[in-house]
Structure 1
Amino acid sequence: MKRIGILTAGGDTPALNATIHGAVARANQLSIEAYGFIKGYNSLYNERVPHVHLNPLYQEIPELDPTKGGTILGSSRDYVDPNDDEALSKITQKLNRLKIDGLVCIGGDGTLNGLQPLADRIPVVLAPKTIDNDLGFVEKTFGFETSVQVASEIITSAHCEAEGAENGIGIVKLMGRDSGFITATASLANSVVDFCLIPETPFRFNGPNGICAAIHRRIEQNKHAVIVVAEGAGQDLFENSKKTIDASGNVLKDDIGELLKQEISAYFQQINTPVSIKYLDPSYHIRSVSANAADAVFCHLLAEYAVHAGMSGKTNLVIGYWNNFFTHVPIQLATKERRMVDLDSALWRGVVSATQQDKASRTNTDSIS
């Protein structure tokens, strides 16, 4: 292998530049040329979109700063349609013309879904990028730890706002379309959270075991409350919801944070109790920051393994991480199922123990724990 291509696809994640830097640094050591494709898959489809030589004379270009958030290569929501043979042929022809021997893709589930047919034509290795940490058979994805750290700091801010107001209620909505790993982990990392709501645990607003009554009891006890909710939680509570699909093929979620705010406000108005509700949505903030030290080291090593896998002729795989070892996970396996928070796991037991949200319900713990 003499030349590799690198691209980033989908939304931002902490440590994208650090991952690119890790791949380029390893390529330098092995005397492999590294070319970056601008704006994700768009550059593979569009002849007018440029590419950039990332390591002329086997030295990374100075613009490649691993400490910065975002990605030097840019990104897009374009993805490879596995059923579009014409597009796949165009991509293959362009890569062959540029003498690209293998492709390192840094992307999430949207990227994964289109990689398999491309991997049948050219060696493709994926460095998995999802702060939701929900990829099947992958224990940890880069950017997750940084996002949890930043989310925990924002939860502290919400608590300060709630604690300083009369009957203050802080609501923080975090990313997590179908899995609640960020929400659960950030809540456990911060002892001020009273209620943690994730997609894996259904809840309801009304009734003695509803979330509104539970918040009321917590406010009577502590004079304030903090709720952390994943974006995908409580989607069954929206009436007449019309689901739409984004450019990556993901179902867009209704705003559970706004609905929580409305329902809680209506509940306390009905019982003539004044409350001060502060709603924080830091979703884009937690994914666009620079990587912390742990993530920076992790993604550098992960990128090196991606380059090594490509060099050895491997294709159609994801560089995973399991039990402290980097692994090769076939794309078919990684896309087979989404990793979810196990409600019998130490993580969720820790959340329920720390928040004591089960005790806020008078007779039944199933609705909010």
Structure 2
Amino acid sequence: MSSSDSPEISKLEIIDGDYVLEDVPHLSDYIPDLPTYPNPLQDNPAYSVVKQYFVHVDDSVPQKVVVHKDGPRGIHFRRAGARQKVYFQPDDVHACIVTCGGLCPGLNTVVREIVCGLHHMYGVKKVLGIDGGYKGFYAKNTVYLNPKVVNDIHKRGGTILGTSRGGHDTTKIVDSIQDRGINQVYIIGGDGTQRGAALIFEEIRRRGLKVSVAGIPKTIDNDIPVIDKSFGFDTAVEEAQRAINAAHVEAESSDNCIGLVKVMGRYSVQSKRNLWAGFIAMHATLANRDVDCCLIPESPFYLEGSGGLFEYIEKRLKENGHIVIVIAEGAGQELLSESIQSMTDASGNKLLQDVGLWLSQRIKEYFSKQRKMPINLKYIDPTYMIRAVPSNASDNVYCTLLAQSAVHGTMAGYTGFTCGLVHGRHTYIPFNRITEKQNKVVITDRMWARLLSSTNQPSFLSAKDIVEDKTDAGQ
């Protein structure tokens, strides 16, 4: 599914010339005279002590918090949270939840908190789990969900609903939603999944159905734009550190030892552009402090010659007797053979050759054949272990708030939106804003400079690379 398939569904409202509210659709935009009801939370004893629990209709969150004093106020998003009026009676709600794409820590937590939020906050009893991703709408059975069924699932990795890539057929999915009488759809997945959610919303709006569609963005790589971070990222960084610690112990325990760790950091193709994400590698390196070199897709590197990776490895081995290298799975793909470059998976992500194994072999060949220098190399690939673990405490809290924000939004009649944290505030964001581009590490930014200062590695950059990155950062 290409980015061109994603419809433009945001509503721009310009106030006082320099304040722009990029709003999300509402059921009342295309269904006139919808009745409203008092929010059941006003009678919920758990929330009776909260001062001003309901979000004001005019509350918004700025996309940029650092502005010049004479500059425009810029784009704002609608603040997430419970509203005083809702557009669904609890007994009339028939909700469904689907998880799509790759595994990520926190999926089960999000599922659990949607179910529990609907049940405990709004009294909704009918919630279905769609089995096996998008294709489950028309090809598989559903699972009945209630608080008892999902009670302990946050302690497990993976997703109890199953998942898959691809399988998106808008007409079949909306036919299934309509035939089952579903009127709230919660879609958990990455950028490809959210593009699919936007198409589902458009078809539902075209048919004039009273169905709210809410997305919860999921990518372990943290490469979704606009939002502060995606759920599962904190857990991934924490687990990556365990692998780095093991590599450091191995490297310190042997002479001329190289500990090489490969972590996630995808390289995907959208809009005919190559896009990367080395956030896990960068943050795990900064957090660990035992790493001597971090290689990510956004920062090109070369192997041989003055200032190259091999020269740096040899220098560190002579100085310290060991070196720890962290490489993101999408790094160095341009150095590998072109045999698999044109292949993508069902979600449009480029299929990668194993850069970790390739780099291990090249390092061994260089030092044994060209330098005649004995080395030990320990290669660790924790990729699937990281994806499969349960979410940590920080991600569990974040998943809970994302799920509750989605529930509040759908009950308030909003649709065609995704939930996300923007500068520490939960917001409702139009689908197209989080699918129009992919977030990536900016190697001319302060965070990458901090990493280089921590590892003391060379930048491996040419003047052309720096100019190109500054251009991308300004877009």
Q: How does 1:90-239 map to 2 (within 5 A)?
A: 90-120=172-202, 121=204, 122-177=211-266, 178-239=276-337
Counterpart in the other structure of 2:13: none
One-letter identity of the residue aligned with 1:52: V
What is the aligned counterpart of 1:52 among 131, 143, 151? Answer: 143
> 1:86-123 CA distances to partner (integer Å, 9 max, x unpaired)?
x4222212112221102101111221232211011143
Provide the secondary structure at the position in 2 that maps to 1:97. Answer: helix
- CA drift at 1:189: 0.6
Provide the secondary structure at the position in 2 that maps to 1:169. Answer: strand
Provide the secondary structure at the position in 1 that maps to 2:155. Answer: coil
Q: Does 2:131 align with 1:41? A: no
Distance 1:189 1:366 in 2: 30
Percent identity of paired positions between Structure 1 and Structure 2: 40
Distance 1:322 1:185 in 2: 19
Distance 1:75 1:294 in 2: 24
One-letter identity of the residue aligned with 2:290: V
Counterpart in the other structure of 1:84: none
Distance 2:251 2:263 in 1: 18
Distance 1:155 1:240 in 2: 30
- CA drift at 1:350: 1.8
Q: How does 1:1-369 map to 2 (within 5 A)?
A: 1=88, 2-29=93-120, 30-32=122-124, 33-46=126-139, 49-55=140-146, 59-61=147-149, 64-80=152-168, 87-120=169-202, 121=204, 122-177=211-266, 178-243=276-341, 244-269=343-368, 270-358=370-458
One-letter identity of the residue aligned with 2:97: I
Distance 1:225 1:266 in 2: 17
Provide the secondary structure at the position in 2 that maps to 1:358. Answer: coil
> 1:160-199 CA distances to partner (integer Å, 9 max, x unpaired)?
1111112000111110111110000000011110000111
Counterpart in the other structure of 2:272: none
Provide the secondary structure at the position in 2 that maps to 1:66. Answer: helix
Distance 2:338 2:158 in 1: 36
Asked whether the 8 Å contact 2:331–2:355 carries over to 1, the reply is yes
Asked whether the 8 Å contact 1:137–1:333 carries over to 2, the reply is yes
Distance 1:366 1:332 in 2: 31
One-letter identity of the residue aligned with 1:102: Q
Query: Which runs of 5 or more structure 2 residues have no equivalent in the other structure?
Result: 1-87, 205-210, 267-275, 467-475
- CA drift at 1:330: 1.1
Aligned length: 356
Moved over 4 A (4+): 363-368
Provide the secondary structure at the position in 2 that maps to 1:100. Answer: coil
Distance 2:152 2:181 in 1: 23
Asked whether the 8 Å contact 2:295–2:326 carries over to 1, the reply is yes
Distance 1:240 1:74 in 2: 33
Distance 1:334 1:62 in 2: 29
Asked whether the 8 Å contact 1:209–1:367 carries over to 2, the reply is no
- CA drift at 1:34: 1.5
Asked whether the 8 Å contact 1:34–1:53 carries over to 2, the reply is yes
Distance 1:268 1:117 in 2: 53
Q: Using structure 1 for the length normalisation, give the TM-score.
A: 0.92
Provide the secondary structure at the position in 1 that maps to 2:457. Answer: coil
Provide the secondary structure at the position in 1 that maps to 2:129. Answer: strand
Asked whether the 8 Å contact 2:185–2:212 carries over to 1, the reply is yes
One-letter identity of the residue aligned with 2:194: L
- CA drift at 1:45: 2.4
CA RMSD of aligned residues (A): 2.1
> 1:267-289 CA distances to partner (integer Å, 9 max, x unpaired)?
11111100111111111111110
- CA drift at 1:259: 1.8
Distance 2:382 2:323 in 1: 19
- CA drift at 1:365: 10
Distance 2:245 2:197 in 1: 40
- CA drift at 1:40: 1.3
Asked whether the 8 Å contact 2:198–2:416 carries over to 1, the reply is yes
Asked whether the 8 Å contact 1:24–1:60 carries over to 2, the reply is no
Distance 1:347 1:220 in 2: 29
Worse-matched range after superposition: 107-116 or 181-190: 107-116
Asked whether the 8 Å contact 1:79–1:111 carries over to 2, the reply is no
Counterpart in the other structure of 1:83: none
One-letter identity of the residue aligned with 1:41: Y
Worse-matched range after superposition: 32-41 or 198-207: 32-41
One-letter identity of the residue aligned with 2:420: G
